[in-house]
Amino acid sequence: MKISALGEFGLIDALKQYAPVSKAVIKGIGDDAAVLSFSKSKYLLLTTDMIAQDTHFTRRMPPQGIGHKALACNISDIAAMGGVPSFAVVSIGIPKNLSVRFIKDVYKGIELVAQAFNVSIVGGDTIKTDKIVINVALLGEVEKEYLVTRDGAKAGDWIFVTGPLGGSLASGRHLSFSPRLAQARFLVEKFKPSAMMDISDGLSGDLNHILKASKVGARLDDASIPRHKGISLFHALNDGEDFELLFTISPMKARSLMDWQSRKKSFYFYPIGTITPDVKEKINSKSFIHF
């Protein structure tokens, strides 16, 4: 069987059998970050993301934006678990004919994001490749009571997103987005979501990850899905690279959250549907998948 026939997530499932874990692993493959034993009150979070030329960016795009994206998408994963980022290693594969200025500007983009989110860059690796490939591995911490995973959604929960969706690649927002770390920390401290993840591959596909992990279904109110100006519902559902947070929350907490945001203007959260008990109620997805 070819990898193209198995698909990205089928391949991940197939490779899980070759991933041994110890008792220190609280949650391994299958969420935005791994959750590891750390201290009496906290878990350690570990995530990694790879971006590659002509898949996630092109050489014609601003190099600082490429660096921004490389680190920011990892911070978004830590945020999705309710945590705070801390230390990162950055590995890069570069063609030998790439200008030194270009790669310095990529690292400048990484530096600016690291400074904004108090992340220390503590190492990495460089190799020669035919096209640019950047891999960041990021550590973070989360208080045990604030940890949120993908598998906690319950029937009746409301579904929310943290901002408008769609058109990220066409607009260039995928190179300049701000990880929703502040929103995530606010949520876990005040309204504790039942499940959460970030929207990288597209709302439809990523919501289905929550539904599969939680063994539930969902119904969306199409008219309530926030979109950027000029973006169709199809693209809001499927474009990806938005890096907004997608979360579910109990009806009582949802009503309290809506009441809070009617009085405060710090953040705005958009209710877009509800979780159902019917596992067959999946969302039709045309989101991006590798392979």
Task: Write the pLDDT tens digit of every residue in 223-280.
Answer: 999 999 999 999 999 999 999 999 999 999 999 999 999 998 789 999 999 999 998 8
Would you say residue 291 has pLDDT above 70? no
Dist CA 7 CA 10 (whole Å): 5
125-154 per-position pLDDT tens digit: 999 999 999 999 999 999 999 999 999 999
Domain 149-276 fold: Phosphoribosyl-aminoimidazole Synthetase; Chain A, domain 2 (3.90.650)
Q: Which residue has the tokens 């009617």?
A: 262
The answer to whether the predicted template modeling score (pTM) of the entire model surpasses 0.85 is yes
> Where in the chain are the domains?
3-145, 149-276
Confidence of residue 290 (pLDDT cuts 50, 70, 90): low
8 Å CB contact between 143 and 42:
yes
| Residue 196 scores a pLDDT above 60 | yes
| 35-68: pLDDT as tens digits | 999 999 999 999 999 999 999 999 999 999 999 9
Nearest Cα to Cα of residue 160 among 70, 272, 19, 285: 272
Q: What confidence score (pLDDT) does residue 280 get?
A: 83
| Topology (CATH level 3) of domain 3-145 | 60s Ribosomal Protein L30; Chain: A; (3.30.1330)
Bridging pattern class, strands 217-220 and 270-276: antiparallel
- The C-alpha atoms of residue 51 and residue 76 are separated, in whole angstroms, by 14
What value does the mean pLDDT of the chain take?
94
Task: Name the nearest CA neighbour of 192 among 142, 227, 240, 129.
Answer: 142
| pLDDT on residue 88 | 98
Q: What is the pLDDT of residue 288?
A: 59
Q: Can you spell out the DSSP letters for 134-165?
A: EEEEEEEEEEGGG---SS---TT-EEEESS-B
- Judge whether residue 1 has pLDDT over 90: no
Decide if pLDDT at 287 tops 70.
no
Q: Which pLDDT score is estimated for 289?
A: 57
Note the pLDDT of residue 254: 98
Residue 79 has pLDDT above 90, yes or no: yes
Residue 14 pLDDT exceeds 80? no
Q: What is the pLDDT of residues 151-169, one digit of tens each?
A: 999 999 999 999 999 999 9
